[in-house]
Structure formats: C-alpha cells, structure tokens
Amino acid sequence: MNPSSAPSASCQLFVPLVVADIVDKGIAVGDRAYVVSRFAVLIALGVIGIVCSITAQYFAAKASVGCVTSLRRSLYAHIQDLSFSDLDRIGVPTLITRLTGDLNTVQSGLNLALRLLLRSPFVVFGAMIMAFTIDARAALIFLAAIVILAAVVFGIMLGSVPAYKKVQGELDALTGSTRENLAGARVIRAFGMEEGEREKFASHNDALYRRQLFAGRISALMNPLTFVILNGGIILLLYTSGVRVNDGGLTVGKTVALYNYMTQILVELVKFANLIISISKAVSCMKRVDEVLLTAPAMTFPDTDPAEDPNAPAVEFRNVTLRYSDADPAVTGVSFTVNHGETVGIIGGTGSGKTSLAAMIPRFYDASEGEVLVNGVSVKDYPAKTLRHKIGYVLQRAGLFRGTVRSNLLWGGEADEEALASAVRSAQAADVIAAKEDGLDSAVEQNGRNFSGGQRQRLTIARALVRRPEILILDDSASALDFATDAALRKELARLDYKPATVIISQRTSSIQHADKILVLDDGEAVGIGTHEELLETCPVYREIYESQYGKED
C-alpha cells in the first residue's frame, strides 16, 4: 500500500464521527462554539487528506512508470536475444503489441493498484469497524452488504480476465493485418485489391469488436450491481435507524454517521469495481508479456572464442539439412566448402533454398542435421559477436535506418573517412553520395525510402565492406543493379586487398559465371557444383537457367 494513502484514508474515516458530534453535541443543544471548533477539525482533516492524496498519486505514478520502463527495456533486450526461428514462431505484430499497448495497459493498472488496491478495502473495512463502534446492530447491514459485494466483484473478475486476454489476441491479428497492408500498399494498389483488403480488415475489426463487446458486457455488470446492493443497504439502514431514532435507541448524529459510512463504502466500492476492471486488463496483458519473457531463446552461444584451424576452409557445409518448424526441409543434405579468398556462386529457382543456406553461416538458423563450420570450427561454438563480426552479410531486402548515410555505414563497425570512402567506392556507391548535397552526412529516411532500390543495395553492400569481413555474403544483393554496375561491382570485390571468402547468391548467371565454383540448388538439394563451363555440360538445371536468360544460341 502506498504509505501516503493510510493517513488520507484515516482522515476520511474520522469525518463521520466529527459530523455526529456536531449534530448531537453542537446543533442539538445550540452550542455554536462547539460547532465552529468541530468544523475547524473537519477543515484540518480535509487539508491533510488532500496533501496525502496528492503525494500518493505522485509516488504511484512514479513507481508505475519506472516499473514499466524497466520491464519494457527487459522485454526489448530479451527479444533481441531470440533467434530468427523464435521470431517467426511468435510473430512480429504480436511482439509490437506487447511492447506498446500491453505494457501501457499494465502501467495504467499498476498505477491504479498502487493507489486503490489496498486503500479501498482499508476504507471499506474501516468504515464497517467504525460502524460497529457506533452501533453493532446497524453495522450488521454493512457486513452483509460487503460480503455480497465481494462475491460479485471477484466473480466478475474471474470472467473478465480470460475475456480481455482474447481481446488482446484479436488485437494482434488486427495489428498484423494492418502492418501487412501498409507495407504492401503499392502491391495492393497495383493489383487493384483494395476492396479485398478492406474486407479482410473489416473481418479482423469485427472480430475484435465482438470480443471487446463481450468483455465489456461482463465488466459493465460491476457498477449497476454495486449501486443496487449498496443503495439497498442504505435504504435498509435508514429504515431501521429511523425507527430506532423515534424509539430513542439511536441518536440523529449517529444515524448521520452510519449513513456517511455507508456512502463511503459505496464510493470506494465503485472505485474498487473500476479498479478490478483495469486490473483484469492489466493481468491479461502482463500474462502475454510474461509469455515472451519466459520464452527461452532457441539458440545459446558460448562466452569464449574457440581455437580456429588456419588451414581449414573459411566455410564448410557437411551434409546439412534445414527444416523450419515441422515443415518439409528447405535444404537437404548439402555439402560444399568455400576457401579463403575464393568466390562461390549459389543459384537456383525461386524457393530452392539459397537464402536458407546462407542464413546458416552467421547462425541465423541452426542446421536440423549436419554441421556448418567456419575456419574449421562449428558455428555453434562461436560467441555470437565473434562469429558475426567475421561476416559481412548483405540481405536480400536492402534495409537502411533513419539517420544519415554515415551512421548507416558505421553499423558495419568503427571506421575513419578513408575506410568509409574505400568501402563506398568498392560498392559502386560513390556516385550516389556525390549526388547528395551533404555527402556522407545526407539524411536517410526510414527504410531508406528517399533512395532508389539500386542505391539502397549499393549502400548496404558498402556497409558490409566497412568491417573488412573474412566472409562476405551477398544474398541477391545486386538484383536492382544494371549489368554494367553489377560487373563493375564484381570486379571491385575481386580486387579487395583482404581477400574475403565470398558467397554470391543470384538469379543471374552473369553475376556468378566468373566465380571459382558454382553451387546449383533445386528444391533444397545440391544438383550440381563446378565452374560455369562444367555446369553447362553436366547440370541440366543450370543449363536451363542459363538458356532462359541468354537463349540456346548464346
């Protein structure tokens, strides 16, 4: 209980006794001086109560905000530790909802709980005890009303908590639909699917409405039932007390005091009823947050760096198979090596497992079977920071962050002006930056939307080159580049003085035909490995891809 709430509640409980004295000992006998002195006591109690209430509100707000801030920080940090497979399973929309809306609901519930959760019962039971000190017979009405109300309050709470949990689940679905719709707005309009998306959104919105309506109906029972029970108690109290006043068994002042205590109970129970609704929402939201916090990351990393074999290949796959959850394998029984300074191309049809294969090198996903090694050591034996510092990964979807070009490039690591300029030149991005008035300090909007697709790809390649990686993975990262820029990029990568082991994933045979060797994937299986010329002779899948791009005569 908030320490400042106790004096405030105590002052509130003493007020009816002072009023009873004013009626019985002041007004009844015409003692004006006594009335004035008691009225001064009422003012003093009021001032003390207000000061304590303001203090209680301040500390409750400070505690709730501080607690949820710490909880949000812990939740965000925990999400950063989750693997890609964990994120796929939980879902991004629900994580956004839990980080924002759910925690805001928890904060509101905690604030109210700190102020009222113990204060309201303190006033209710305190009023009942004070009523017993005035008249035990009349106080039995208080006891009966409180028992009935407690049963009503906790019954409604038991029904509303699971209802609000389902509401939050529907909110996740609505958030996911909205996020998908906004992210794919151009595609939706290009195919004229606005009406279908409106219907899909309306379906989720109606489902959320129905859940909220059901939960609201349960919660809405609280106030009317509370008022009916308490007002019934007041009517019964006034009836029995009025009869006893006429008989001389009870004074008018004591009757007024009993009525005041019953009114206090009514007010506090209305507050408590609303508090229970808020706590029900907060509890259901906290359970959802707790589910994420209790989710153990699927991957664990050691703390110490392993001993590497300098003679081992930079990357080695040993009969590797990868499954996503319970689905069919995305990659099946693949084995190959990438030596230091060597360039390996990976090609295959859409859905053949190219990106899945590359994602196992920095250990975004763990192999379901087999083993992936870097410098002769299993990727599972590397600390996450050590492993990923060795790798420059350019993802299939070029992602830039709000800030400047410089701040985005420095995600690759600390670098001086010369190193940044060198990475930019190698990535064929010098003209992109030269065209901007502020150069490296030019603004980058969210997702790099003020750059074209090809410009974003070149900047993300430059970001990967800044760290001078031992292993460079380009996952279809030149798809938006013209053939001349793509050729110039490959020429610059071949000239890098630190000679990284390079893995190039591409749909274009022109991007990989000069690689030291090419791995051909078909439905997750390696169906060919060799040079461009060898595969044209021995691998039908590769020859079909090549001929679809250049024609049989070429």
pLDDT tens digits, one per residue of 329-344:
889 999 999 999 999 9
Instruction: Tell whether 220 and 321 lie within a shared domain.
Output: no
Q: Using CA atoms, how far apart are residues 132 and 345, in angstroms rounded to an integer?
A: 88
Q: Using CA atoms, how far apart are residues 115 and 127, in angstroms rounded to an integer?
A: 18
Q: Nearest CA to 359 among 395, 410, 316, 400?
A: 395
Q: How many CB atoms lie within 10 A of CB 45?
A: 19
Q: Using CA atoms, how far apart are residues 367 and 360, in angstroms rounded to an integer?
A: 7
Strand, helix or coil for residue 194: helix
Alpha carbon of residue 167 to chain centroid: 17
Pairing of strands 501-505, 471-475: parallel
Query: What percentage of the chain exceeds 70 in pLDDT?
Result: 97
Please, which residues bridge with residue 75 across strands? none
Q: One-letter amino acid identity for 509?
A: T
Instruction: Tell whether 9 and 117 lie within a shared domain.
Output: yes
Phi first, then psi: give them for residue 344, nearest 5 degrees: -120, 130
Q: Which of 415, 448, 468 is the last residue of a domain?
A: 468
Q: Using CA atoms, how far apart are residues 510 and 508, in angstroms rounded to an integer?
A: 5
DSSP class of residue 27 equals I
Instruction: Tell whether 55 and 114 lie within a shared domain.
Output: yes
Q: Using CA atoms, how far apart are residues 67 and 111, in angstroms rounded to an integer?
A: 10
141: which 2 tokens?
């009405």
Strand, helix or coil for residue 518: strand
Instruction: Tell whether 124 and 71 lie within a shared domain.
Output: yes
> Do 280 and 157 meet the contact criterion of CB atoms below 8 Å apart?
yes
Instruction: Tell whether 282 and 315 lie within a shared domain.
Output: no
Instruction: Tell whether 60 and 126 lie within a shared domain.
Output: yes
Q: Using CA atoms, how far apart are residues 66 and 68, in angstroms rounded to an integer?
A: 6
Please, which residues bridge with residue 338 across strands? 315
Any residues with CB less than 8 A from the CB of 204 and at least 6 apart, and which? 170, 173, 174, 177
Instruction: Tell whether 118 and 201 lie within a shared domain.
Output: yes
Q: Which of 274, 293, 312 is the last residue of a domain?
A: 293
Q: How many CB atoms lie within 10 A of CB 250?
A: 20
Instruction: Tell whether 336 and 409 lie within a shared domain.
Output: no
Please, which residues bridge with residue 528 across strands? 520
> Do 451 and 462 meet the contact criterion of CB atoms below 8 Å apart?
no
48: which 2 tokens?
């003390």
Instruction: Tell whether 85 and 54 lie within a shared domain.
Output: yes
> Do 94 and 172 meet the contact criterion of CB atoms below 8 Å apart?
yes
Per-residue pLDDT of the chain (554 residues; tens, 9 = 90+): 455 556 677 777 777 777 777 777 777 777 788 778 888 888 888 888 888 888 888 888 899 999 999 999 999 999 988 888 888 888 887 888 888 888 998 999 898 888 887 787 788 788 888 878 887 777 788 778 778 877 887 787 777 777 877 887 787 788 778 877 877 787 888 888 888 888 888 888 898 888 888 888 887 787 788 778 877 877 887 777 777 777 766 778 887 888 888 778 777 877 777 787 788 788 888 988 998 999 888 888 999 999 999 899 999 999 999 988 777 888 999 999 999 999 999 998 888 889 899 999 999 999 999 999 999 999 999 999 999 999 999 988 888 888 999 999 998 888 888 889 999 999 999 988 988 888 889 999 888 888 888 889 899 999 999 989 999 999 888 777 888 888 888 899 888 888 999 999 988 888 888 899 999 999 889 999 999 999 999 999 999 989 888 765 55
Q: Which of 243, 274, 293 is the last residue of a domain?
A: 293
Tell if the pTM clears 0.75, that is, is over it. Answer: no
Q: Using CA atoms, how far apart are residues 496 and 470, in angstroms rounded to an integer?
A: 11
Please, which residues bridge with residue 369 across strands? 321
Pairing of strands 369-374, 377-378: antiparallel
Report the CATH number that the domain containing residue 447 is assigned in CATH.
3.40.50.300
Instruction: Tell whether 23 and 125 lie within a shared domain.
Output: yes
Q: Read out DSSP for 276-332?
A: HHHHHHHHHHHHHHHHHHT---S----SSPPPP-TTS-SEEEEEEEEE-TTSPEEEE
Instruction: Tell whether 196 and 237 lie within a shared domain.
Output: yes
Beta strand ranges found along 384-428 (DSSP E): 391-394, 403-404
User: Into how many domains does the chain fold?
Assistant: 3
Any residues with CB less than 8 A from the CB of 99 and at least 6 apart, and which? 72, 75, 76, 79
Phi first, then psi: give them for residue 387, nearest 5 degrees: -65, -50
CA distances from 15 to 115, 235, 530 (A): 21, 22, 93
Q: Using CA atoms, how far apart are residues 522 and 110, in angstroms rounded to an integer?
A: 55
DSSP class of residue 503 equals E
The alpha carbon dihedral of 533, 535, 540, 543 has a sign of: negative
Instruction: Tell whether 34 and 52 lie within a shared domain.
Output: yes
Report the CATH number that the domain containing residue 253 is assigned in CATH.
1.20.1560.10
Max CA separation in the chain (angstroms) = 121
Q: Using CA atoms, how far apart are residues 481 and 75, in angstroms rounded to an integer?
A: 39
> Do 243 and 152 meet the contact criterion of CB atoms below 8 Å apart?
no
Q: How far does the chain reach from its first CA to its final CA, in angstroms?
A: 83
**Secondary element (H or E) of residue 315:** strand 315-323
The parent domain of residue 77 ranges over: 5-293
> Do 321 and 368 meet the contact criterion of CB atoms below 8 Å apart?
yes
